[in-house]
Structure 1
Amino acid sequence: MEEAKIIHLVRHAEAFHNVDGDVSLHRLFFRGEWRHLSPRLLIRVLRPFWRHFQAWLLSFFIGKASLKHARARDQNFFDPKLTSNGWEQIGRLRKIVGESGIDRRVQLVVVSPLTRTLQTAVGVFGSGEIGSPPFVAQELCRERMSVRSSDKRRAISNYAPMFTTVDFSQIEDDDDKMWNPDTPETMKELQERITLFLQWLWDRKETEIAVVSHSSFLRNMLKRANLLLPNCQLTTVRLTRSGCDFRFSDA
């Protein structure tokens, strides 16, 4: 019988950057958000272009220091927390995983070490409760990193007291060494990170695992760029391996 693992994928619940943050053209046209186009959504689409234009003006007339300053102005979305709607989404998904028995079958919950994913993982799978699975934070399943501060994490020493039942020992650096305010992660770098993550998952002894991560990371891991992954919804897949290649199929 072919060796396989069952993986339950969960995108984090709605966070504040999902409500007021930028919207890319990819999201607008290829993920269908144009159907709900409104003045507010249009502003969120055009805002990055306006900021880049402002940054170019500052760089041209004032200098590079101002360009760096302009790129770092989005601190309002630094490692955002969940919205009240996000917590409601968690309540609904927690009921689903409880009624389906997934919460009793999952042997491990792997979670990206950002506030929104940690809150989602603990809220859905009940960290610390009797019978709940162990939780491990893993940087390899972080979001594809842009220069936006929403992709930057806090120091692990800040998370540990808030999420006491999550094992952070897989993360070597207390401060965030992966995020760069000037250089986004390339697609090649992301794919290399995905391969390392899948190898890490495959080497684990657990055969049924939940992964709480982010939309861009999950879409690229599944190699389905236009897949719509709503906040806090669960997708179950079967992970197999053929030689050096990892494959996903419907579970």
Structure 2
Amino acid sequence: MSTINYTIPDPELSVLGRSQCNSLKENLVPKITGPNPELDVGLIIVSPMRRTIETALLAFGELGIPMEAHAGWQENSIQPCDTGTSLAALRKEFPEVNFDHVDPVYPDKTSPAGKKYFNTKQAIMARGQEVLRDLKRRKEKVIIVVSHSGFLRSGVTGRWYMNADYRVFDFVDDSEEKEGEAVKIKEREWTVKEGGLGWSFEEAVELGDGLPDEEPALN
């Protein structure tokens, strides 16, 4: 019997979730720190939802790497658990995170103003390409993104992510894309099977798989 409660608005991490963040920290931080880091991380981008912000702070908050919230990386559904909190409240709750560049429409994803965040196949796949283009344009060599399994799997990478697990990708081509051309990424060999922590399913899925086609009723 499932104990997941989808009605809790923008929930915090559970005790189990915090424990999983410790496992992430122990596994990934050594690859970021040191004189010759395997991953030369210059920025952490995080979905502006409580559980992802808490994950980023617990796992990477002590590294001193700039942390920036980005509405494009939020989760798909319009359930209360996947709908964010006002930016004014988040700024007070998480002063360590830069919210200056978050789309001011956040957390709306049901009205015409929030159409780009609709829980539809077209919107989510378009958002996946948009956030990849944004990453590709940035100057940092390596960027950590703390997002959500549903959006990452169906909109961005086509790979599974269990809680706190991670995968590492590179852009296939460093050149600028032509208009209408999809941004392509390739996963590094050491996470390509079951993720960096070995917690995730190995099978790949097609982007857009399982996403609804119909638009939600507009407010």
SS in 1 for 2:59: helix
Letter in 2 for 1:245: A
* Cα 1:221–1:95 shift into 2, 3 Å: same
Q: 1:206 to 1:175 in 2, by over 3 A?
A: closer
1:199 is matched with: 133
**How many Å separate the matches in 2 of 1:232 and 1:102?**
19
Q: Confirm or deny that 1:113 pairs with 2:48.
A: yes
Q: Distance in 2 between matches of 1:119 and 1:98?
A: 16
Aligned to 2:87: 156
- Which residue does 1:213 correspond to in 2? 147
Change (3 A) 1:194 1:91: same
Q: What TM-score comes out, normalization by structure 2 length?
A: 0.71
Cα distance change on mapping 1:157 and 1:245 into 2, 3 Å: same
- Give the secondary structure class of the aligned counterpart of 1:228: coil
Counterpart Cα distance in 1 of 2:167 and 2:106: 31
> What corresponds to 1:247 in structure 2?
184
Q: Is the 8 A contact 2:129 2:156 kept in 1?
A: no
User: Which residue in 2 is equivalent to 1:87?
Assistant: 18
Aligned residue pairs total 173
| SS of alignment partner, residue 246 of structure 1 | coil
Contact 2:169 2:186 in 1 (8 A): yes
Q: CA RMSD for the aligned pairs? A: 2.3
2:5 to 18, 21, 26: 21
Q: Per-residue displacement from partner, 1:63-114 (whole Å, max 9, x unpaired)? A: xxxxxxxxxxx3xx11011100111111111111222336962110000000
**Maintained 8 Å contact 1:111/1:213:** yes
Structure 1 residues 221 and 186 mapped into 2: Cα distance closer, same or farther (>3 Å)? closer
Q: 1:222 to 1:194 in 2, by over 3 A?
A: closer
Kindly tell me: are residues 19 and 117 of structure 1, through their superposed partners in 2, closer, same or farther at Cα, counting changes over 3 Å? farther
Q: Aligned partners of 1:179 and 1:240: how far apart in 2?
A: 34
Change (3 A) 1:175 1:236: closer
> Whose helix fraction is larger, Structure 1's or Structure 2's?
1
What corresponds to 1:228 in structure 2?
160
What is the aligned partner in structure 1 of residue 60 from structure 2? 125
Bigger-Rg structure (1/2)? 1
Distance 2:4 2:100 in 1: 33
Match of 2:72 among 127, 134, 140: 140
Query: Once the two structures are superposed, what CA deviation does each residue of 1:38-68 show, in whole Å capped at 9, x if it has no partner?
Result: xxxxxxxxxxxxxxxxxxxxxxxxxxxxxxx
Indicate conservation of the 8 Å contact 2:70/2:103, yes or no: no
**CA distance in 1: counterparts of 2:140 and 2:109, whole angstroms:** 27
CA gap of 1:173–1:222, structure 2 versus 1, over 3 A, is closer
CA positional deviation for 1:196: 1.4
- Matches of 1:102 and 1:153, distance apart in 2: 32
Distance 1:153-1:202 versus aligned 2 partners, 3 A rule: same
SS, match of residue 233 in structure 1: coil
Which runs of no fewer than 5 residues in structure 1 stay unpaired?
1-17, 23-73
- Per-residue deviation, 1:118: 0.4
Counterpart AA for 1:195: Q
Structure 2 Cα separation of the partners of residues 185 and 174 of structure 1: 15
CA contact (8 A) 1:237 1:249 kept: yes
With structure 1 as the length reference, what TM-score do the two structures score? 0.63
Q: Which amino acid aligns with 2:29?
A: G
SS in structure 1 at match of 2:23:
helix
Give the letter for the 1:171 counterpart.
V
Q: Which runs of 4+ in 1 moved over 6 A?
A: none
